[in-house]
Amino acid sequence: MSRRAPRPLRRGALAAPGYRVVGHMSRGRPLDVYDAWSDDRRTRCVVKRLRPDCAGDRGARRRLLAEGRLLRRLSHPHLVRAYEVVERPDPAVILEPLPGDTLDRWLHEGPGRLPPAAVAGLGRQLASAVAYLHGERVLHLDLKPSNVVVHAGRATLIDLSVARAPGKVRRGLGTPAYMSPEQARGGAVDEKADVWGLGCVLYEAATGVMPFDGDPCEDGADPDRRAAPVRARRRLPAALGAAIDGCLEPDPARRPPVSDLWAALGGGA
């Protein structure tokens, strides 16, 4: 008989010292995310902390604190900011509150797809954040619509929980439906794995559907598997379609560098 997971913290409880719960935002394995009030800042913040039943998970604790420390040293207009990393009594990361909703929810509970100009604008903003991460020797490795918050034409990339330097990764690290073939297979990955993830996000933003169906983790490891051309699903400007399709080349050597993708989407001074 499985043990029922404990309930999230109640409103008014301390999610971390100085941060009182306003509401529970989401639960995953092994984390809870809370909307909280900061006594010191006199404003709402987001608190990411371990679920009560995962408090003894040393690996989860290490990953949460590593993500917080990473976000504390990074600064980019399209990357979520971390205000504070709390180690005791319970590990937590304090994040800025973001207006809007995730791209995933916006697409699937809203219009279903973005206008072509908005797809290009989204791509420029995300490519700019990803290029910055790469300049800091960080791969995101979990680019997907649920890790992008959108509001009034502005995109913010969130969740660096699996981020790491280029190099070897275990098989299947990330989210199966959005990981590159080389990431799904395990082994060495570089910046081109994030280019694939960007392509998946833009494909879904443009068409309302994911580029791959079925068992993405197993099938995604097939080096010859290709998504249908994006313009087969939706009429788009040729240059935009080519940019998205280029990101989804099975061979990472044939994908564009993220700086070239940014330029192809209309980036410039």
Catalytic residues: 142
Neighbour-count burial for 123-148, b at 16+ CB within 10 Å, e otherwise: bbbbbbbbbbbbeeebbbbbbbbbbb
Taking only Cα atoms into account, the Rg of the chain, rounded to an integer number of angstroms, comes to 19
Nearest to 227 by CA among 213, 207, 242: 213
The Cα–Cα gap between 93 and 79 comes to 15
The Cα–Cα gap between 82 and 71 comes to 5
Q: How far apart are the first and last CA of the chain?
A: 60
Q: At what angle do helices 191-207 and 238-247 cross, to 10 degrees?
A: 130
Q: Are 38 and 127 in contact (CB under 8 A)?
A: no
The Cα–Cα gap between 241 and 264 comes to 10
Phi-psi region of 86 (alpha: psi -120 to 50; beta: other; left: phi over 0): beta
User: What backbone phi and psi angles, to 5 degrees, belong to 213?
Assistant: -115, -175
Three-state DSSP at 55 gives coil
